[in-house]
Amino acid sequence: MSEASEADITQPTQDERTMAVLAHALQMVGAWIAPLVILIVKRKSRFVSFHALQALLLQTAFFIMTMSIMLIWVAVIFSQILSRHGGEQSFYHLAGFFVLFPLLRLGFTIWWVGILAIVILYSIKAGRGEWAEYPLLGALARKMLKIGPGGAVPTAGP
């Protein structure tokens, strides 16, 4: 394979860059659905697939974290209800509930702002045609798509 054709493979077209930007940006309004649709529609493009899969993995991690926290929250509420003895109300249980809820909401807000920052940063990088990786999730996306750094097809070593 010549150097020119190999360079063309790893350099994304304007359409690919646009779709990669959309995969990142639309996750803020479409959650996991937008990156999934883009991943399915543009699965032949390694660049778009890589960026869409990263966005999809980020939304999956957010969903799993949210569901885990909500399950813990429901378990705490039911354990508080069941721990009451014969109608006795405990001020401390109620106070703990009202302290924990704002802290939980603050945690979700901080997580959402973090995702917003990631979306903006990686949308810009995708628009520039960079093969930028999310921390932790980027390496997983490359492994799932079986591509090397910069979109290169990994060669079988000796």
Domain ranges of the chain: 3-149
What's the pLDDT band for 107 if we cut at 50, 70, 90?
A: confident
What's the pLDDT band for 6 if we cut at 50, 70, 90?
A: very low
What is the signed CA dihedral for 39, 42, 47, 51, rounded to 10 degrees?
Answer: -20
pLDDT per residue over 29-76, tens digit each?
888 899 999 999 988 888 999 999 999 999 999 999 889 888 888 887
Tally the residues of the chain.
158
Give the whole-angstrom CA distance, residue 116 versus residue 24.
10
Give the whole-angstrom CA distance, residue 38 versus residue 42.
6
* 98 or 91, greater pLDDT: 98
Instruction: Indicate if the pLDDT at residue 92 is higher than 80.
Output: no
Tell me which amino acid residue 107 is. Answer: G
Please state the pTM of the whole predicted model: 0.77
